[in-house]
């Protein structure tokens, strides 16, 4: 489910004259979930030339080579974060086992034809290992009730992830203006995962309570993978004859009554929208 491959289909003609090597399919996944294995493809057409070697590099360091005229034909070299499955790897495909955060980097495939032309074909792409949190973001610092005139000062904090999640605050369904936001640097954990915090700071006015309800919502997303929402919904209740105020901690908004603007309660409505594709 999480193996999302961004296929880079590249057709490259070697710049040198004569016969030219051609890339049929170069494929390095844009994102690889931590712990999964991944396949890199460098499928070329020799156009009648003979292959001398295929070499793979990560960040400029060679980690795999295929040379049909040598024995063994396949060789791997130690590069941090790269764990080649030698059985499964060939001249056109390299399989990496158990991605770690250190597997992220720039991968290059270099195809070299035999003498006399020594035509070469080079293609590269960036691979990023992602670690997607299973937990929803958390809202902290909320009071149980707010009145128009009160200052709202709350934080939304994502679960640790790599890369860091992007947080968005919404008031009554609208993205919050940047001047009400407090941007904090992501907190980097020892395991390399990052935790994002986005503060929301504003003075509530009557305009923030259409139909006597103010709804505050925070979403966390990482590219297309992770889309979870925490929603804080503030409700007003009109105590008909008593001054008692009622609190509700469930998810239906605007449930109660035609209300007085005096008594406000806060319900925390958790709404997990999980769009893992």
Ligand X SMILES: *[C@@H]1O[C@H](CO)[C@@H](O)[C@H](O)[C@H]1NC(C)=O
Q: What's the angle, vertex CA 99, arms to CA 60 and CA 85, rounded to 5? A: 80
Closest separation between CB of residue 114 and ligand X, Å?
A: 48
* DSSP reduced 3-state for 209: coil
User: Is the distance from CB of 75 to CB of 55 less than 8 angstroms?
Assistant: no
Binding site for ligand X (CB under 6 A): 140-141, 153-155, 184, 197, 199, 221, 227, 273, 275
Closest separation between CB of residue 218 and ligand X, Å?
A: 12
Closest separation between CB of residue 184 and ligand X, Å?
A: 4
- Closer residue to ligand X (CB): 104 or 196: 196
Closest separation between CB of residue 226 and ligand X, Å?
A: 8
Give me the DSSP letters along 136-158. PPEEES--S---TTPEEEEEEEP
**Contact residues for 37 (Cβ-Cβ < 8 A; gap 6+):** 85, 95, 96, 97, 98, 99
Residue 160's closest CA among 116, 197, 122? 197
Shortest-Cβ-distance residue relative to ligand X: 141
- Closer residue to ligand X (CB): 13 or 151: 151
Q: Could you give the CA distance from residue 264 to residue 40 in angstroms, rounded to a whole number?
A: 57
Closest separation between CB of residue 199 and ligand X, Å?
A: 5
Q: Could you give the CA distance from residue 271 to residue 228 in angstroms, rounded to a whole number?
A: 8
- Closer residue to ligand X (CB): 80 or 189: 189
Closest separation between CB of residue 256 and ligand X, Å?
A: 26
Dig out the tokens for 176 from the structure. 């919050």
- Closer residue to ligand X (CB): 227 or 260: 227
- Closer residue to ligand X (CB): 172 or 227: 227
Cis omega (within 30 of 0) for bond into 140: no
Residue 36's closest CA among 132, 159, 129? 129
- Closer residue to ligand X (CB): 113 or 152: 152
């Amino acid at each position: 489910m999480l193996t999302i491959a961004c296929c880079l289909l590249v057709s490259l003609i070697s710049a040198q004259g004569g016969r030219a090597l051609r890339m049929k399919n170069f494929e390095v996944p844009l994102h690889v979930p931590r712990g999964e294995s991944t396949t890199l493809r460098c499928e070329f057409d020799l156009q009648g030339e003979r292959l001398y070697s295929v070499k793979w590099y990560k960040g400029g360091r060679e980690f795999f080579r295929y040379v049909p005229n040598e024995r063994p034909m396949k060789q791997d070299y130690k590069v941090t974060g790269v764990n080649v499955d030698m059985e499964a790897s060939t001249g056109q495909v390299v399989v990496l086992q158990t991605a770690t955060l250190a597997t992220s980097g720039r991968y290059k495939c270099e195809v070299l034809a035999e003498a006399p032309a020594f035509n070469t074909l080079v293609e590269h792409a960036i691979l990023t290992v992602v670690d997607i949190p299973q937990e929803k973001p958390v809202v902290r610092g909320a009071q149980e009730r707010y009145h128009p005139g009160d200052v709202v000062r709350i934080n939304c904090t994502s679960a640790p992830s790599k890369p860091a999640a992007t947080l968005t605050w919404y008031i009554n369904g609208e993205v919050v203006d940047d001047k009400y936001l407090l941007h904090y640097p992501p907190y980097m954990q020892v395991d390399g995962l990052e935790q994002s915090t986005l503060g929301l700071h504003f003075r509530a006015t009557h305009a923030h309570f259409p139909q006597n309800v103010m709804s505050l919502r925070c979403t966390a997303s990482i590219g297309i993978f992770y889309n979870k929402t925490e929603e804080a919904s503030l409700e007003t209740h009109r105590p008909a004859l008593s001054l008692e105020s009622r609190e509700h901690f469930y998810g239906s908004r605007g449930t109660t009554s035609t209300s007085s603007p005096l008594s406000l309660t806060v319900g925390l409505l958790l709404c997990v929208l999980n769009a893992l594709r």
